[in-house]
Amino acid sequence: MAYNLVQKFAFDRMEYFYDPIGDVLDISFGPSAPSVALQVEDWLAIRISVTPPSFQGLTIVGFRKIFQKIHGYVEHDLSKRMKRLAHTSLLISISYDDQSDTLIVRFTEQLFGWRRFVEKLFHRARSMPSIFERLSNHPEDPLNNVYVEKTLPSKQIVGVKILEFTKTGPAAIEGFLGAMVDSIFEPRAVQDENAHLIANALISKLDWPKLGRLVA
């Protein structure tokens, strides 16, 4: 059995709701829908809609405090990212192959308008070689089976691969999300570099100027 799930995140449909009194930020992709959360840590929940199952959004409790700690990741190239963001959507594909018991998650940015035309025109030229790096080399670590895919030479994160998924998948996903959180709060964690890059790649998609205005 093999499957491939694809979900598209169009950033023009992303909505932020910030409650400055409770210091709670809700981020939704599209209108609010009944959902159940996956609690990553007590300040961060990933909301999954009940029907049909899909990524509904994030809830960050204590956002002002968290925001102050992680804002620095994207500050230096903020304007460039924001200009690009308005013309971009993110396609996330999740593939599982039972022959190799491997789960692959890939992130692909899609461009709109003339940028998409240019992308298609030069598609071959834009194809980049990539490498897989193990997230942890410790034999007892569940992250031992997690690999991040990076383009060369820019080393941009474009995907994640988990081997022996039926055996180690849940622990690997837990470890992986935990490593991302640690890369924000405890930057000396063992698997910091790749976890930091992934966290940065996701964080960089947020509209920081708008968030800044919301919490001001």
Partner 1 sequence: MPDIVQDPTGLEVVLTDECWEHIVSRHPELLPFKELVLEAIREPIGIYEGKRDPSRRIYKKSYSEVPGVGNSLDVLVFLGDDGKHIATVYLIGYSIRMLGRLVWPTI
Residues that bind partner 1 (CB under 8 A): 17, 19, 21-24, 26, 28, 32-43, 45, 47-48, 50, 59, 61-62, 65-66, 174, 177-178, 181, 185
User: Is 31 or 129 the residue whose CB approaches partner 1 more closely?
Assistant: 31
User: Is 25 or 157 the residue whose CB approaches partner 1 more closely?
Assistant: 25
Least distance CB 38 / partner 1 (angstroms): 5
Least distance CB 71 / partner 1 (angstroms): 15
Q: Counting every residue, how long is the chain?
A: 216
Least distance CB 15 / partner 1 (angstroms): 10
User: Is 42 or 75 the residue whose CB approaches partner 1 more closely?
Assistant: 42
User: Is 67 or 150 the residue whose CB approaches partner 1 more closely?
Assistant: 67
Please list, in sequence order, all residues whose beta carbon lies within 8 angstroms of the beta carbon of residue 129, skipping any fewer than 6 positions away: 151, 152
User: Is 132 or 185 the residue whose CB approaches partner 1 more closely?
Assistant: 185
How far is Cα 197 from Cα 107, in angstroms, rounded to an integer?
13
DSSP label at 44? Answer: E
Please list, in sequence order, all residues whose beta carbon lies within 8 angstroms of the beta carbon of residue 18, skipping any fewer than 6 positions away: 24, 25, 26, 63, 211, 214, 215
Please list, in sequence order, all residues whose beta carbon lies within 8 angstroms of the beta carbon of residue 51, skipping any fewer than 6 positions away: 34
Least distance CB 161 / partner 1 (angstroms): 20
Least distance CB 178 / partner 1 (angstroms): 6
Residue among 55, 59, 81, 87 at smallest CA distance from 208 = 81
Asked if 144 and 136 touch (Cβ cutoff 8 Å), the reply is: yes
β-bridge pairing 130-134 and 102-111: unpaired
How far is Cα 50 from Cα 125, in angstroms, rounded to an integer?
41
Least distance CB 145 / partner 1 (angstroms): 17
User: Is 78 or 202 the residue whose CB approaches partner 1 more closely?
Assistant: 202
